[in-house]
Structure 1
C-alpha cells in the first residue's frame, strides 16, 4: 500500500473477476485521527479517496507485478459520493467493496507503468459512489530523471520559523491542531498550504514532494472553510463534500511556499450568492510562484440526516 503504518492500511483483499476487472475489499474504521466521521456520523469522503489510492497500488503490485521499489506519481484523481446516507458509521467497522477496472495508459516495462483505475463503491451491499485514479509507476532511475528536470531532486522543507500560524482546526473541519494544514496568506482571499511535515498520517514515510493526498486535504479544508460560515443561522443544514476532481500538473515542492486560491464559487440557484442551504461548487488552485501545480473542482451539498431505517444497526444519533 506504500504505507509504513499497518493501522493506515484499509485494503484487506482482492479477487479477480475477469480480465482487468477486480473486486477489492476494504474495512473503514469507525473512527480515525484524521479521517474522522462528521457531526452526522458519516464517514470521511477522503477515506474513499485513500482507499482508491491503496487499491491501485495493491492491484499494481499483486496482479500486474509492478516492482515494489517503483515510485508512484499521481496525475489525477476524482471521486463522487452518490448516496451519502450509506456512509453512516454504525457499531462496527464499515465493510467496503470497490469494483475496479484497470486500464493501461503508458506501459513500458520494466521502467514505466502508466495506468488508470476506475472504481464503483459499495458499502454494506449498498452502491454509493464512484471514483478513479491515474498514475505512472517509475523505477528509481526514471524517477530521478523526471525530478532532476525541476532542479529539485533533493527537496527540503520550507523553514519552520516562517511566521504563518495555521488556522484553528475547527474552522477547517478538523479536531486537532496538528491536523490543520492551512494558514492565512499575505493577500486577501489567499491561503497557504502549511502541513506539519512530521504528521504521522499525511507524511507516513519520507517524500521529496507534497503527495496528492496532502494536496487533496488542503483543498478539502479550504472548501470547508468557504462553505461553513460562523454566522450561519442555527439549524441551517451543514454542507458535506460529495465530489472532488484533482488534477496534478507539476510536482509540488516541499521547499517552495504553496498558495491556495478559490478561482470561482457559486450556488446552484444563484452564481453570485452565498447560500448555506444550496449546493456549492468550488474550484481551487494550488500555486507555487506563478505556476499552478494542482487544481480541484469540488461540490459541497447539504446534509440530510439519515432516517432510523437508513442507519446501520448499533448507531445512535444524538
Structure 2
C-alpha cells in the first residue's frame, strides 16, 4: 500500500482540499512500464475521490522524438504518452494490478483544445491530468479491463482532453489471447535498414532513425517500417507493435499528407490537434504493415481544399488483408507569429 494513495479530498474545505502535486522527481519506471528514466513523464498523483485522481507530469523542453514544433508548441504525442503512463501508474499504484500483467490497448483518443497553452518556455512544462477511472471488465486476479478519461491543464488553464482503454492480463491469459505461443518472442529487436524510409523532414521528424515511413505501391499506400532498435519507440522488448508506434506512424503519414499539398516555402503549416486510434488486432513485428489513406478532406467542403481549412484524415494499418488499427485525425492550420496582430513593442506570442 502506497502512502500517498490515502490522501483524499476534505469535504469541509473544498477550496483547499487538493494536496500540492510533486513535480520534483518521476515515479518509478516499472510503474509506467518504461525502462529509461528519461522517458518517464508522470511525477505524482493524488486521490480526489472514488475513481477520481489528479496526476502530475513534466514534459521536457526538448526531446529526441517528441520535440517541439517550429512554433515552440509541445508535441501532442507527449500528451498521448502521458495518458498511457497515467493509466498504467494508477492501475499499479492505486488499484494494485500486479506488476507482471501485460497491458493491451484497445483505443485511445486525444484532443488539444488550446494549443497556445502548451508553449515551451525556459523550463520543463508542468502538466496536470484530472483523471476518472472506469472499470470495463474486472476479473481479478487474471484480467483487469479499464478506461481512463482525462482533462489536461497547464497552470490551471484547461487545454485538452483524452481517453485510453486497456485490458491488463496475467501471463497465461495473455498467451491465450495472443495465440502465438512459441513465436511471440522470436523477433530480434535488431536495427532495421534505413534504406527506403521517407526523409525525416517530410514527416515532421529531425533524425533519420525517427522516420517510420517507407513508400508503398501507390500514392495512398505507405509502409510502416520503424527501426526496431529505436530506444524510444521500443523502450523495452515487446512481441508486437505497441499502440504508440502505430500512433507515430499515423502521425507521420498525417504530416506528410497535410503538408505535401503546400510544399512551397512560406506555405501554411498544420498541427495535429486530435486523433482517435482503434486497435483491432495485434500488429506483428515480423509481418509487413501497410498504412492506407481512406479519407483526406478539408473541413467544410470535401471537394475544395482551402489553404487555411482544417484537414481531416482517416487512415488504416493493415497486415495482409487484416485491419490491425485505424486512426481518424484532425490537423489545424498554424497561426504563424508574423500573422498575429499585436501592438508594436509587445513580445511575439507563441503561435
Q: What band does the TM-score fall into relative to the shorter chain?
A: over 0.9
Q: 2:234 aligns with which of 200, 203, 208?
A: 203
Contact 1:158 1:257 in 2 (8 A): no
Aligned twin of 1:133:
164
Offset from partner CA, 1:145-168 (integer Å, 9 cap, x none): 111269853352699788961000
Displacement, 1:272? Answer: 2.4
Query: What secondary structure does 1:281 align onto?
Result: strand
Larger RCO (CA within 8 A; separation ≥ 6): 1
Q: 1:24 aligns with which of 55, 61, 67?
A: 55
Q: Is structure 2 residue 286 aligned with structure 1 residue 259? A: no
Question: How has the CA–CA distance of structure 1 residues 57 and 139 changed in structure 2, closer, same or farther, with 3 Å as cutoff?
Answer: same
Query: TM-score, normalised on structure 1?
Result: 0.93
Question: How has the CA–CA distance of structure 1 residues 30 and 258 changed in structure 2, closer, same or farther, with 3 Å as cutoff?
Answer: same
- Counterparts of 2:282 and 2:305, CA distance in 1: 33
- Counterparts of 1:161 and 1:41, CA distance in 2: 31
- Counterparts of 1:151 and 1:247, CA distance in 2: 27
Contact 1:158 1:254 in 2 (8 A): no
Query: What secondary structure does 1:67 align onto?
Result: coil
- Counterparts of 1:161 and 1:172, CA distance in 2: 18
Q: 1:71 aligns with which of 92, 95, 102?
A: 102
- Counterparts of 1:157 and 1:276, CA distance in 2: 45
- Counterparts of 1:317 and 1:26, CA distance in 2: 21
Q: Is structure 2 residue 328 aligned with structure 1 residue 297? A: yes
Displacement, 1:74? Answer: 0.1
**Structure 1 alignment gaps of length 5 or more:** none
User: How is 1:1-318 mapped onto 2 (pairs within 5 angstroms)?
Assistant: 1-148=32-179, 152-156=183-187, 165-229=196-260, 231-305=262-336
What is the alpha-carbon root mean square deviation over aligned residues? 2.3
Shifted more, 226-235 versus 250-259: the winner is 226-235
Query: What secondary structure does 2:260 align onto?
Result: coil
Detail structure 1 runs of 4+ shifted over 6 Å in the superposition: 158-163, 306-309, 314-318
- Counterparts of 1:51 and 1:158, CA distance in 2: 24
Question: How has the CA–CA distance of structure 1 residues 278 and 157 changed in structure 2, closer, same or farther, with 3 Å as cutoff?
Answer: farther
Query: TM-score, normalised on structure 2?
Result: 0.84
Offset from partner CA, 1:91-137 (integer Å, 9 cap, x none): 11001000000000000000000000000000122100000000000
Contact 1:208 1:253 in 2 (8 A): yes
Query: What secondary structure does 2:324 align onto?
Result: strand
Shifted more, 265-274 versus 60-69: the winner is 265-274
Alignment coverage as a number of residue pairs: 314
- Counterparts of 2:84 and 2:286, CA distance in 1: 25
